[in-house]
């Protein structure tokens, strides 16, 4: 499947991912194999947490709509468009 969107790379202040990871969790028990130090929680996470998960051959961080998104946005120091034909 070809990706038909725009890829953007964000640069964050040092320590931003550590702050996000402090409130991160996994919602799929299988992802505990990749993130054994993170708590597992089923259900609603988007207002208070970030979610880490494995998708195919990549790790995805979802920042939701609350605290993790605020941390992410407050720590952006730059961004750039990434040019790729397909992923």
- Would you state the pLDDT for residue 1? 59
Is it the case that residue 79 has pLDDT exceeding 80? yes
Beta carbons of 72 and 16 less than 8 angstroms apart? yes
- Would you state the pLDDT for residue 58? 87
Note the pLDDT tens digit of each residue in 13-41. Answer: 999 999 999 999 999 999 999 999 999 99
Q: How far apart (Å, rounded) are the C-alpha atoms in residues 5 and 86? A: 10
DSSP structure string for 31-78: GGGT-TTSPB--S--TTT-EEEEEETTEEEEE--SSHHHHHHHHTEEE
Percent of the chain at pLDDT > 70 equals 93
Q: How far apart (Å, rounded) are the C-alpha atoms in residues 87 and 73? A: 25
Domain segments of the chain: what residues?
A: 7-81
Beta carbons of 39 and 52 less than 8 angstroms apart? no
Determine phi and psi for 86, rounding to 5 degrees.
Answer: -145, 160
What confidence tier does 63 reach under pLDDT thresholds 50, 70, 90? very high
Is it the case that residue 54 has pLDDT exceeding 80? yes
The token pair at 65 is: 């709509």
- Would you state the pLDDT for residue 3? 67
Mean pLDDT of the 43-70 span = 92
């Amino acid at each position: 499947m070809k990706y038909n969107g725009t890829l953007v790379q964000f640069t964050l202040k040092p320590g931003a991912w550590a702050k996000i990871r402090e409130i991160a969790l996994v919602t799929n028990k299988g992802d505990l194999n990749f993130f054994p130090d993170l708590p597992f929680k089923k259900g609603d996470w988007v207002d208070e947490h970030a979610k880490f998960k494995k998708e195919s051959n990549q790790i995805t961080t979802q920042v939701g709509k609350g605290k993790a998104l605020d941390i992410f946005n407050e720590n952006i120091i730059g961004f750039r468009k990434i040019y790729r034909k397909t992923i």
